[in-house]
Structure 1
Amino acid sequence: MLLRAQFFLYALLILALSIICTSCTKYLDKKPLKSQVLPERLEDLQAILDLNARMNEQGLDVTELASDNIYISDADVASVPEIDRLNYLWDKEAMDLSSWSRPYQGVYFSNFVLEALVDIARTSANAEQYDHVKAAALFYRAFAFFELAQVYCSPYAPATLGSPGIVLRNTAAIQANSVRSTVEQTYTQITTDLATAAMMLPAQVAFSTRPCAAAAHGLLARVYLSMRDYPSAYAQADTCLQMQHALIDYNNLLPVSAPAIPAFNAETIFYNHSLVRMQGLFPPYAKIDSLLYQSYDDNDLRKELFFAGNDDGSYAFKGSYASNYWDPTVFDGIATDEMFLIRAECSARTGNTVEALQDLNSLLVNRYRHGTYVPHSASDASEALTNILRERRKELIYRGQRWTDIRRLNAEGAGIVPTRKVNGKEYTLPSEDPRWIMLIPEEIISATGMAQNPR
């Protein structure tokens, strides 16, 4: 079965790469592979989705590079590749082909599976397996669409619903017209796919590289949080945590070893990480913002497990939940710690201070040395929210969420302005700046004729 799946994958990959290299303005064929290779068994389709080098490496490290969690020294800014330097400094011409093409490869394989399912009869004997495969394909597609939406279109808001969204590819025909949707259509597609997937995915999966029902609810919680639909985000995080709620006691990770935090750990609901490309995000270049590092209490074990000291007194990140790939890899899968933080934030935003603090303290007691944690208290929901947002940034460093968080928090009036100082020159990214929406790669604009994001 694996050899059959690999054969299908290689054929698919050749065609998928042509999305980048050839024009995408006309239909080639509704099912371009039908006369060549078409899986006839559900096992083949599942095996394609199980090839995690394609389906579980859809994360975008460019958003972590462009956020305010790290800095690069003056000397190193000149040493990193140009694409890294331009994105790090929010250059108005910065773009990144891989950040566009990588998620769309996942979209392509998902669509291929969904179209192949049409030619496989759903029977009483295979209904459960059929539904699981379909739901997984919908989940992977929604995951990729959401990643793309954080980079290439405006944040979801009443004023931006008609603004250009991403290309919502719902076909495996690789030369189907590439037309941008609206922001509203983008998020409707994502939430619809995930809601459908949540109803059909299994409660348990053999490997966290496969999505389960909790993963779909968890991703919906993340999506609704980005949309600032806090009641819906709360409901989805709550449902997710009813299914999976395990937290790691970081005391059990001492003494610190390599890797500091094991991959596929008890908190991981769905495993996904970025493809390590951007050198500027990793040692020896990327250094943790000094004020952020200092915000961790000395009894906070994250300070020891997340960071490694550099020779110059700065610190590098090492605490990835994708440490099997590399210690500083950006893990942006779904995990229980994020769900506790989403539920806590949404509780605070709806005035439920007690429940908000319960979730926050349930998480943090597992992050401090035994006997040292003093539970957070707050006089009102506003104070609780401030504490939760501060801990969210500390917990989810190198998790691919900070860029989206700044965009939505600035829409709430936070006024966060990331700033770089390089060789005496200051670079800033004001909240209303169009650079919060990144440029679509020029190769894609030239091939499709789509409208470029403004500058």
Structure 2
Amino acid sequence: MRKQLIRYILLGFVATGAVSCNDYLNVLPKGKKLPTTYADFEPLLRDEYGVHHTRTTQATNLLNDRFVSSSNLNYYRLWDANYFWREDVDRKLLNNADEDTYYQSYTSISTCNLIIENGAEMTEATDAQRKELVATAKVLRALNYFILTNYYAATYEEGTASNLRAVPIIYSADVGAAHTQVSIQEIYDFMISELQTSLSDLPETGLTVLHPARGAAHALLARIYLQMGNYPLALEHADDALQLNDKLFDWLTYYQQNKTRIESPSDYALNETPVNHGYVENYYFRHGNNASSYRTSEYALRVDRAARFEEGDAKFLSRWKLRTLGPDTYYATTMTGYHNLQGLTTVEVYLIKAEALARTGKVAEGMQVLNTVRKTRILADKYADLQTNDPVQAIKWIHRTKANELIFSIMPFADKRRLNKEDAYKTTLTKTENGTAYSLSPASHLWIMPFPQGAFDNPGNGTLEQNVDK
């Protein structure tokens, strides 16, 4: 791994890759004390930038879920390659502009490893506190590996998962630790094991929203099993998560309370987002593509992407507004603050449950779950229950809502790759830009992001092979 980007925040001291973690624990910075107690280690999991921050910029660009200005496309050649689906471009030569996903995830994993390795020896803590902190770190570590695998490796397919490479697994916080690039099957088995062994030690409510508790672990297991096509277990864990938190935010009330501002065609002031640390749908909060250390606005939407929201979607109407500036027309963001875009929420679990029901022959029940979500989103004068007995139509409706609800996270990308493997759901993306038609096939190699060159220049104590040709 790239040593200078693996950080350990220990009581305000930043230790870089100049020494291993084990060495660091024997080298006392002047004026500091060695991290030995629970009170020393627990704050490491409150580092929002280092632990709870993930960018998946290129996945969002590839899906064309955001509006990107021509100036940015001209400056960032990798953005241009993904945004315009340029299959002839060798993205490996450009991906020094997309290192954050890799290094940010492994930085978070390093902090989790530090907690897990030292859990049994933490002093001034009860056994339950030690176990809970280690279990929390395991949930975070598993989530990081889910993002990495669904960004840099092929999507999970039972017939190929044991033969295709995923990403390196690192078990130690020592920056010189050996690592192995495992198969997709091995990484999924590892994530499931991490979560299953954590459940008994997790509380119903975490120390903070940055500390995933039992509901978050069940939510992540539901996500993983759905990705694997194990619908009965996805449904089981979705139900377990919803038993712990089944709240949905009332976007209809929010819209009514802010209707004058929302409907004003000239009011583009940025307002506080409710999708923050206190959002009632949170199991676990994780920042998205924008930096976590300061308040940010959301991405702007392409006009054609905005058209894929349901008419009367109060959540959409509350977040974006059509705007023209110079030659560009797009949906401008109207919200600022801290956004839970890469975490775990009840709405995702509801939609996992809906799909799992539809996949297992309970289409009507799946539609009831989908409509439960929609009733908190779609304005009353536009709302009607969606009803069908066709599982294919049901799943298409479920994924329309899911892609909109989880926009700018890893999930629309991960879901699209998964559905592209099924004839009933795979689609070719198309658009016309400045008179030129573009398309992206479901079989395109662009659906796998290349590892950054820095990972090969500084491989650490292991080997790494690229998962995509270009």
Q: TM-score, normalised by structure 2?
A: 0.83
Paired residue secondary structure (1:181) = strand
Tell whether the 8 Å contact from 2:37 to 2:122 is kept in structure 1 after alignment.
yes
**Counterpart-to-counterpart distance in 2, 1:247 and 1:296:** 18
Matches within 5 A, 1:59-74: 59-72=55-68
Q: Which stretches in structure 1 are left out of the alignment for 5+ residues?
A: 19-27
Larger displacement relative to structure 2 (351-360 or 75-84): 75-84
**Counterpart-to-counterpart distance in 2, 1:379 and 1:177:** 52
1:48 corresponds, among 44, 48, 59, to: 44
| Partner in structure 1 of residue 117 of structure 2 | 115
Is structure 2 residue 431 aligned with structure 1 residue 415?
no
Paired residue secondary structure (1:179) = strand
Tell whether the 8 Å contact from 2:10 to 2:35 is kept in structure 1 after alignment.
no
Q: Deviations over 1:38-75 (max 9, x none)?
A: 421112211111222221113423322221423446x4
Tell whether the 8 Å contact from 1:330 to 1:399 is kept in structure 2 after alignment.
no
Distance 1:182 1:32, change over 3 A: farther
**Counterpart-to-counterpart distance in 2, 1:156 and 1:297:** 30
How many residue pairs match? The answer is 425
Larger displacement relative to structure 2 (299-308 or 165-174): 299-308
Distance 1:69 1:330, change over 3 A: farther
| Partner in structure 1 of residue 363 of structure 2 | 353
| Partner in structure 1 of residue 314 of structure 2 | 301
**Counterpart-to-counterpart distance in 1, 2:436 and 2:178:** 43
| Partner in structure 2 of residue 142 of structure 1 | 142
**Counterpart-to-counterpart distance in 1, 2:162 and 2:402:** 27
2:448 corresponds, among 437, 440, 455, to: 437
**Counterpart-to-counterpart distance in 2, 1:9 and 1:229:** 43
| Partner in structure 2 of residue 10 of structure 1 | 13
| Partner in structure 1 of residue 252 of structure 2 | 251
2:81 corresponds, among 72, 80, 86, to: 86
- TM-fit CA distance, 1:437: 1.5
**Counterpart-to-counterpart distance in 2, 1:119 and 1:40:** 8
AA aligned to 2:467 is: N
Larger displacement relative to structure 2 (146-155 or 416-425): 416-425
Is structure 2 residue 401 aligned with structure 1 residue 391?
yes
**Counterpart-to-counterpart distance in 1, 2:464 and 2:47:** 31
| Partner in structure 1 of residue 457 of structure 2 | 446
Is structure 2 residue 330 aligned with structure 1 residue 314?
yes
| Partner in structure 2 of residue 265 of structure 1 | 279
**Structure having the larger proportion of residues in strand:** 2
Distance 1:452 1:83, change over 3 A: same
**Counterpart-to-counterpart distance in 1, 2:358 and 2:367:** 8
Q: Deviations over 1:267-290 (max 9, x none)?
A: 11100022427xxxx989853342
AA aligned to 1:446 is: D
- TM-fit CA distance, 1:7: 3.9
**Counterpart-to-counterpart distance in 2, 1:101 and 1:340:** 31
**Counterpart-to-counterpart distance in 2, 1:313 and 1:88:** 17
- TM-fit CA distance, 1:29: 5.5
Q: Deviations over 1:198-255 (max 9, x none)?
A: 2211101242111110001111111222222222211111110011000111122133
Q: Which stretches in structure 2 are left out of the alignment for 5+ residues?
A: 1-7, 29-33, 262-270
| Partner in structure 2 of residue 231 of structure 1 | 232
Paired residue secondary structure (2:309) = coil
Paired residue secondary structure (2:24) = coil
**Counterpart-to-counterpart distance in 2, 1:145 and 1:70:** 25
How many percent identity over aligned positions?
Answer: 23
Larger displacement relative to structure 2 (259-268 or 335-344): 259-268
AA aligned to 1:53 is: Y
**Counterpart-to-counterpart distance in 2, 1:211 and 1:174:** 25
Is structure 2 residue 166 aligned with structure 1 residue 152?
no
Tell whether the 8 Å contact from 1:274 to 1:331 is kept in structure 2 after alignment.
yes
